[in-house]
Amino acid sequence: MQIVAVKGVFSGLGALIVALLAGSSFPTAGYLGAALLLGFLAYGLSIFFYVHAQRRLGAAKTSAFYAVSPFIGSVLSLLIFPGIPGILFWAALAVMAVGSFFACEPKK
């Protein structure tokens, strides 16, 4: 999984360079550690499992499962942050549902 490590290092380095060029200050050690942990969990594991699924399931099945993942995140966010979302949330959810339907629709 060397490609995952290279992609993670260079995307993180790119984001750091953009932030520093935009005038942000370098983060403290505690904040940096928390950001690295979050990046590993949210981005690193995500891309690792995506590449792993590509190898085991194939591109079509992996894409179909990947198209459904935003809905899982939406449900979790509603459980973690209770409240009634605004109209833009529901509009975006409808657009995502249509896109996922077409991505997951089996070929005839």
Domain ranges of the chain: 1-57, 59-108
Mean pLDDT score of the chain, rounded to an integer? 84
More confident residue, 65 or 21: 21
Average pLDDT, stretch 3-32?
86
- Whether 104 and 68 have beta carbons less than 8 Å apart is answered as yes
- Whether 33 and 80 have beta carbons less than 8 Å apart is answered as no
> pTM, whole model, 2 decimals?
0.53
How far apart CA 81 and CA 73 sit, in angstroms, is 12
